[in-house]
Amino acid sequence: MIPVRLVSVGKAVPSRTVSSESLDASLGRPPGYTFKKSGVRSRFFAAADESQSALGARALHDALRNASLGVDAIDLLISACGVPQQALPNTACFIAAAAGLPAGTPAFDVNASCLGFLAALQVAGGLLASGAYARIAIVSSDLASRGIDWDDAEASLIFGDGAAAVILERGTAEQGIRAVKFATYPEGRHLCEIRGGGTARNPRAGAVPADYLFRMDGKAVFKLAVQLLPAFLDELMARSGAGLDALDVVVPHQASALGLLHAAKKIGVPEAKLVRIYETHGNQVAASIPTALYEAVMTGRARPGQRVLMMGTAAGLTIGGLILDL
């Protein structure tokens, strides 16, 4: 057990709610096309004047309010976004500025694509256990709409924007990370990608505009994940020392309608234990899991004393899962 206590959660969404019907109209598609392709009824898109860091700061302020804490109570800020606000410097410093954290508050990024929040949670747990910090905030904020290629229905219609935050402290012997596992399979590294923006493809290396847009081979991702997930889940549960029946809440990455359906079938837990926000939020990249966790906590579905499984897949291809005892 890595002792971690979930102090509070926070959430923020952009100003615009975009329905599938409105996308049908704007994209020149027949009525019902977007929902049939995506399974998303509505999602949130940031306006041109809304920034990723400002959205993340709003989520952090929400978490602080829910814990009755001020910005000076945070010892460390970890940004866990799937795509950064810019290549350099890290997104954490932009969120810290937007949130008004005191000058000198340490802040850094942890990037594991859609599983960034889980990776950051593991890092934070180790830092809290070591005594290096007393109170850590993790913020996941992603504006997927800024990188959508509308000519590719598979890689565009499923996404939404959003941000979520958690505040953590060191837990007790009964609170914390019961088990955690990540596994990366580089043969899937080109199945989900944005090729531009780094040293491989940039204006001096022959980059074209399409390199800066998200591309995905969804069928190949699903096929590879289906092959790997059963053994992965078995090992994760073995590490926890208990079976699936010991889980009170399951918070999957809200990747796609098909992905959620398969996860529910494989995990085999009652529908009441599964947290679904995909239909009203879409895939929010790294903000997906913590936003779903926020919904579970704020609705009372995830409470102190319960055991929560958070899991999903990410670009790379990476599979990750973390079991948290609240």
Residues that are catalytic: 114, 253, 283
Q: Which residues of 167-200 are buried (b: 16+ CB within 10 A; e: fewer)?
A: bbbbbeeebbbbbbbbbebeebeebbebbbbeee
Residue 315 neighbours by CB under 8 Å, 6+ apart: 82, 113, 114, 189, 191, 192, 193
* Cα–Cα separations (whole angstroms), residue 320 to 27, 214, 310: 35, 21, 8
Tell me how far apart the 2 most distant CA atoms of the chain are, in Å: 57
d(C-alpha 210, C-alpha 190), whole Å: 15
Query: Which residues are registered as beta bridge partners of 139?
Result: 79, 165
Give the residue among 61, 35, 283, 76 at the shortest CA–CA distance from 161.
283
d(C-alpha 233, C-alpha 72), whole Å: 39
Q: Which residues of 90-111 are buried (b: 16+ CB within 10 A; e: fewer)?
A: bbbbbbbebbebeeebebebbb
Give 124's DSSP letter. Answer: H
Residue 231 neighbours by CB under 8 Å, 6+ apart: none
Given a contact cutoff of 8 angstroms between Cβ atoms, the answer to whether 171 and 317 are in contact is: no
**Strand, coil or helix: what is 244?**
helix
The torsion angles phi and psi of 46, rounded to 5 degrees, stand at -75, 140
